[in-house]
A and B are shown apart, each in its own frame.
Chain A
Amino acid sequence: GEDVEQSLFLSVREGDSSVINCTYTDSSSTYLYWYKQEPGAGLQLLTYIFSNMDMKQDQRLTVLLNKKDKHLSLRIADTQTGDSAIYFCAEINQAGTALIFGKGTTLSVSS
C-alpha cells in the first residue's frame, strides 16, 4: 500500500545544516511536497519538487529527489531556532484524490 516514511526526530545546533529524509512508495507521484508545522498551527507549504527534477533550491532550502530509490530529502542551511518545527513529507495518493503525509520529523534547534 501507499506509505511515506520519515525519521521522527532530528536535533541540530544553530548554524548547522539539517537534513530531513523521506521515502515514498508511489513512483507515479507527479509532485512531492515538504510542509512545516509550528506548535499549535496548521501545516504550511515549504517547497515542492516536480518528479522530473533531481534538485530544487529555494534560499536556505534544498530538496533532493532520487527517483530510483524513491528517496526525498530536505536540507536546511544555517538552521535557526525559528526552524524548530515538525516537517512533513507528502505525495499524492494513488487514486489522485488527496495528499498522504509521513508521520513528520520533529526538528529541534539548540542555540
Chain B
Amino acid sequence: EADIYQTPRYLVIGTGKKITLECSQTMGHDKMYWYQQDPGMELHLIHYSYGVNSTEKGDLSSESTVSRIRTEHFPLTLESARPSHTSQYLCASSEFDRGVDGYTFGSGTRLTVV
C-alpha cells in the first residue's frame, strides 16, 4: 500500500498555464525529492528537501519551484507550462540519507503540455 501519494496521475494542459503537482507522504519522512523522468526513462533529480522550510535544486536545471511548509507535503509548481515540460514527474521520500531503506516513490504524474 502506497504511503506517498501524487495527484493528479495524468494532466494535459495548455501552454502558459500555471500548474501545481501535489505530493504527500504519511510516513513522517524528513527528506523528499522530485525526479523528472524523460521518455527514455532516465531519471533526473530536480528538487529535494531535507525538512520544513528547506528546499534545494537538484542536478537537472528546472524551471519549476517547490515549497515545504509541512513535513508531509512537497508540491511542485510550474508558473508557465511549456511543451518542453512534458514528462513524467516522480516524487519520493526517505528517512535517511544513506540508509538501507532507500526511497519510497509515488506513482508519478504524467504531464503533457500542448
Contacts and interface: CB of A to CB of B under 8 A. Distances in A.
Contacts of A104: 41-43
A97 B103 CA distance: 12
Given A97-B56, A98-B48, A33 B102 contact: yes
Interface size class of B (residues with CB under 8 A): 20 to 34
Nearest to B110: A40
A100 B102 contact: no
Interface string B28-62: 00000101000011110100100000001011000
Contacts of A107: none
Contacts of A31: 98-100, 102
Interface residues of A, number: 27
Interface in B85-114: 90, 92, 97-108, 110
A30 B98 contact: yes
A44 interface: yes
Interface of A: 30-31, 33, 35, 37, 40-45, 48, 50, 86, 88, 90, 92-93, 96-101, 103-104, 106
A37 B42 CA distance: 12
Contact of A42 (B40, B42, B90): B90
Contacts of B56: 97
Contacts of B41: 37, 86, 103-104, 106
Contact of A45 (B43, B45, B103, B108): B103
A98 B58 contact: yes
Interface string B54-72: 0010110000000000000
A42 B33 contact: no
List the 8 shortest-distance A-B pairs measured between CB atoms, nearest first: A42-B105, A101-B43, A43-B105, A45-B102, A104-B41, A30-B98, A103-B42, A42-B107
A50 B101 CA distance: 11
